[in-house]
Structure 1
Amino acid sequence: MRPLNRILAVAAAALVAAPLAACAATAAPTASTIAVDVADGSPTGDAIAIPGGLQAGLRRGLDALPGIVRDVLERSGVPGMSVAVVAGGETVLAEGYGTKVAGKEEPVDADTVFQIASVSKSLTGTVIAKAVSDGLVTWDTPVRELLPGFALGDPYVTDHGTIGDYMSHRSGLYTGAGDDLETLGFDRATVLDRLRLLPLAPFRSSYNYSNFGITVAGEATAAAAGTSWEQLAEDTLFAPLGMGSTSFRYDDYLARADRATINALVDGSFAPRFQREPDPQAPAGGASSSVVDLAEWMKLVLADGEHDGTPLIRPEALLPAVSGQIVSSHPSAPGERGGEYGYGFNVGTSLNGQPTVSHSGAFLTGTGTNYRMLPGLGLGIVALTNGSPVGAAEAVVATFVDVVLYGASTRDWYPAYEAVFSHYFDPAGDLVDARRPASPAPPAALSAYAGVYRNDYFGDLVLSVEGDRLVGRLGPTGGFEIDLEPWDGDVFAFEISGEEAPPGSRSSASFAMAGGQAASVVLAYFDRWGLGTFLRAG
């Protein structure tokens, strides 16, 4: 099974030579001197100056932003987008563009609520920073102390994995761990319980983007607070900031009168084909919000945890979240920058040397989101869209930041990001490019394959004959259905679609026969970690 619900990490790394920076700051001016904004104290905060200064750059960016958004929406076909910009502790722009659902005249505005997908991770990092500030937990608190029944496949990792380990994707859980169970309809508790059955990458020395790793950290923090994750976030972050349209509950999103419907890209056009109910992984991807609300959150982060001049989160509790904790993207050549990940935040450096924190969010079924903050400038921008991830939100954010910092865009960001996201839409499965044999062997009678098959990780697979069809049902209520069609002898084919499987995905189901009936079946699509074998139980 191929993981698709992933973010685009900003590939950047900071390298500061302190003696060189100090010399540059004191060098005598010449006709070719580059203007540098010299930070108070350490030269690690120095950066190339913005042409005309920050206020001039901000005005350039704000003047250009409506045109940037309209251009990207026109080229991408994404139905709708809202954007907000904060600077100097104020929301200086909040606007909506396009429509809330493809094909209808329902204008997006600044208060329209979107599903924000993995931008949720940064909200989660902030909620946990608040819990650290309040003394409920530390970033180094072992999860096992808070969730005594939780375990992974390695006893050492089980006992020593901390909140910070899970928040920075260094727990050893592979990318996509548990996502397949969510796809089948299992709830959060079941997914977290079955993570113990999965293989692990090296602990603390490998980076693997994991939705349910983040979810583990959120659940552990909520346990320390004696409440649910959803309530903890509402009580400690959303309510104090006045973020009345923000929630980690999917039902709250559905209840909003002013909400954007997700629109999937299928056959070159966007349409509202799916629903995406992400409650099982709420801390990682389940939040919904508006740009007006997210602007309030960005102000908090940019003010080192202060809200309207009042401390909400201690700076020393928040700083680790927005600081690099692990290398998330290694350079492919000596001349390239790498990337780092904090606790729910991508951490990088802009071309002019300004530190950045950012995150993208993506649901293949119809959401693409992105924000970027430059703490040294007190500047942030967020863009939310209701279309599959094609790089539209990222392109708007990157172009705006370029105009502010450099006076013009450094490149055409939309096709650049579109190319990065394009592989998300490639069909998955071992039979995608395969052709059925010209003279396939006939299958046995369909009744020979019918029955109940058991799997410790995925649960039961129930196969039944319905007319001339062999139908499989998976998930806690059997709600995930696949049609198995003869392919070659005891090998069948089935198609699958959804968040992790773009249209056209096709996989094999290979039966092992014994005594005239199937004894087991391997569903190749679910066999990523060698767990796709289901044994007959009845």
Structure 2
Amino acid sequence: MRHRPPRGTAVAAVLVTVLAGCTLPPGAVPTGTAPDQGITVTTGAAPNQDVVALPEGSIDTAVEELPGIVQAALQRTGVPGAAVAVVHGGETVFAEGYGVRKLGEDGAVDADTVFQIASLSKPVGATVVAREVSQGVVEWTTPVADLLSGFELEDPWVSTHATIGDFYAHRTGLPPAAGDLLEDIGYDRDYIIDHLRHQPLNPFRASYGYANFGTTIGAEAVAAAAGTDWESLSEEQLYKPLGMDRTSSRHDDFLGRENRATLHTRVADRTFEPLYERDADAQAPAGGVSSTVDDLSRWMTLILASGTYDGEELLEEKALLPAISAQSISSHPTAADQRAGQYGFGFGVGVHPGGRVSLSHSGAFNLGAATTVVMMPSADVGIVVLTNASPVGAPEAIAAAFLDEVQFGHATRDWVEAYGKATANLSLPAGDLPGVPAPTDPAPAQTLSAYTGEYTNEYFGTATVTEEDGSLVLAVGPEGGTTAVLEHWDADTFAFTPRGENAPKGSLSSVVFALDGGTATSMTVDFFQSQSGDLGTWRRAG
């Protein structure tokens, strides 16, 4: 059985980095030159705030170079459209769109085009939580079980002790992508959160598992404490105060925008097509926000100003700082000269080669979206890039090339190539059968009626296998709404093509029936088994 990394969460997990300090205090930035090296150092109040000084005028120059950076990245990757914004000194200094909202149509992308921002929803949502912490509604250390009645995970002790912060830092022990396949087959937020109690846990606070529905649990707890739903809370506590008029955590609102970007799925190298919709309402706090670069510029301005916007303190710096500080090791070094990846409460946090702290997050839907944000507090600069195509590293490459110009005055590497390689695994087919030759002389199956019937699974729910027009059809999810034809492979093994966010083009999975007395008693579906911690076996009902 072939196990493979989760897909819907992999981009953000790959790109989280380290936070080691905070914004330099005003007046604490004398400069000096390192002996015999010609390196100008901007020194802070403490040694861990020292950074390599920026070249004179580099931010202005980087902004001037940005259109060419964006256009080159889109041309090289084939991504249909992008919107990019830069904030600096409390202002939006750049906001432009490139390409088209949908291939084959005339609508151009501009700064007001609404994109689905995928996992960039996490740091936006963490800002909502920070505001609730500021107002005394919750603390990052509040156990979610105190706020969500009946909440439980596999381990009772973890169930009662896991905090809002633990879920936002992905350190509860939930495995990566826990719950994502339940969403893929149509289950709603309540069902998914309830059934995560069946997921085997990794060590509590000693492991990192990037999970959309872990973040969603933390957000649901905060909304419960506030006495409202998460979507309304986000709107009232963040979007409205910042004037983010085109931002929403509801998919219906996104569909209601005339100026919106269509998802484009990668079907070949540099080739994308508008094939699918992606309703992420079930995981809205983690991946369901839609927004514009103009709106997100307002949010970046708030973060870079440590919670102040337009002269008003919207959240206390002490409530925000834990979110933008390292809380979990997201990736351990594999060599002594590597920096570890770290994660805060909803923010990726890191240190650039010049010593500057960055706050970042990427997001992606394999069905057709890729986004990124990077903020550099010591330079008071941030960039957000939204695109309408499957993840191929384009937004990250644009942001990295811009920040190279900011920090060093020149590119340090080919970022399109580097991030293309970093995201290549996301388009690999899922399941255990891609590339496996079909048997040339397969053993015959039983009569199809031997496999038909109803099967139960405590995690994925009921599945039915029926015979239609001489083939087996598998139906899973609420009311059997997700179906697939099972093609005979060999003996009691069949094959099917999974669909959805976690099943890129070319995916192919086995379905293995176990029989007793000529009748199937169980079936194991590799696509579900290998991505859910061995929970993909259904047993015949009754």
TM-score when normalising by structure 2: 0.95
Q: Distance in 2 between matches of 1:262 and 1:62?
A: 27
- 1:67 alignment counterpart: 68
Change (3 A) 1:416 1:27: closer
| Structure 1 range deviating more: 139-148 or 509-518 | 509-518
Change (3 A) 1:535 1:407: same
Matched, 1:264 2:269: no
Matched, 1:531 2:535: yes
Q: Name the % identity.
A: 50
Q: Distance in 1 between matches of 2:182 and 2:273?
A: 26
Instruction: Give deviations 1:296-320, integer Å, cap 9, x for gaps.
Output: 0000000010010110000000000
Q: Distance in 2 between matches of 1:68 and 1:31?
A: 34
Q: Distance in 2 between matches of 1:358 and 1:427?
A: 28
Q: Distance in 1 between matches of 2:143 and 2:375?
A: 30
- 2:369 alignment counterpart: 367
Alpha-carbon RMSD: 1.6
The alpha-carbon deviation at position 516 of structure 1 amounts to 2.5
Equivalent position amino acid for 1:34 in 2: I
Instruction: Give deviations 1:175-229, integer Å, cap 9, x for gaps.
Output: 0110010001000000000000010010001111111100000000000000000
Instruction: Give deviations 1:419-469, integer Å, cap 9, x for gaps.
Output: 010111111111112222221111111122111111111111111111111
Structure 1: 5+ residue runs without aligned partners?
A: 17-23
Instruction: Give deviations 1:459-493, integer Å, cap 9, x for gaps.
Output: 11111111111101111021111111111111111
- 2:418 alignment counterpart: 416
Partners of 1:96 and 1:110 within 8 A in 2 = yes
Matched, 1:274 2:279: no
SS of the residue aligned with 1:103?
coil
Q: 1:394 aligns with which of 393, 396, 400?
A: 396
For residues 61-460 of structure 1, what are the structure 2 equivalents within 5 Å? Answer: 61-268=62-269, 269-460=271-462
SS of the residue aligned with 2:479?
coil
The alpha-carbon deviation at position 514 of structure 1 amounts to 2.1
Q: Distance in 2 between matches of 1:29 and 1:137?
A: 46
Q: Distance in 1 between matches of 2:482 and 2:310?
A: 48
- 2:26 alignment counterpart: none
Matched, 1:36 2:37: no
TM-score when normalising by structure 1: 0.96
- 1:21 alignment counterpart: none
The alpha-carbon deviation at position 10 of structure 1 amounts to 3.7
Partners of 2:32 and 2:42 within 8 A in 1 = no
Q: Distance in 2 between matches of 1:298 and 1:13?
A: 18
Q: Distance in 2 between matches of 1:311 and 1:534?
A: 53
- 1:19 alignment counterpart: none
Q: 1:5 aligns with which of 4, 8, 28?
A: 8
Q: Distance in 2 between matches of 1:30 and 1:457?
A: 63
Matched, 1:45 2:49: yes
Change (3 A) 1:81 1:29: closer
Change (3 A) 1:130 1:26: closer
The alpha-carbon deviation at position 27 of structure 1 amounts to 7.0
Change (3 A) 1:153 1:32: closer
Equivalent position amino acid for 2:42 in 1: D
Matched, 1:466 2:468: yes
The alpha-carbon deviation at position 248 of structure 1 amounts to 0.7
The alpha-carbon deviation at position 497 of structure 1 amounts to 2.5
Change (3 A) 1:13 1:432: same
Partners of 1:11 and 1:338 within 8 A in 2 = no
Aligned length, in residue pairs: 527
Equivalent position amino acid for 2:116 in 1: Q
Instruction: Give deviations 1:55-87, integer Å, cap 9, x for gaps.
Output: x11111111000000000000000000000000
Structure 2: 5+ residue runs without aligned partners?
A: 22-28
Equivalent position amino acid for 1:183 in 2: D
| Structure 1 range deviating more: 66-75 or 263-272 | 263-272
Equivalent position amino acid for 2:8 in 1: N
Equivalent position amino acid for 1:133 in 2: S
| Structure 1 range deviating more: 166-175 or 322-331 | 322-331
The 4+ residue runs of structure 1 with deviation greater than 3 A are 8-16, 24-33
Q: Distance in 2 between matches of 1:263 and 1:499?
A: 12
Q: Distance in 2 between matches of 1:348 and 1:206?
A: 19
Equivalent position amino acid for 2:54 in 1: I
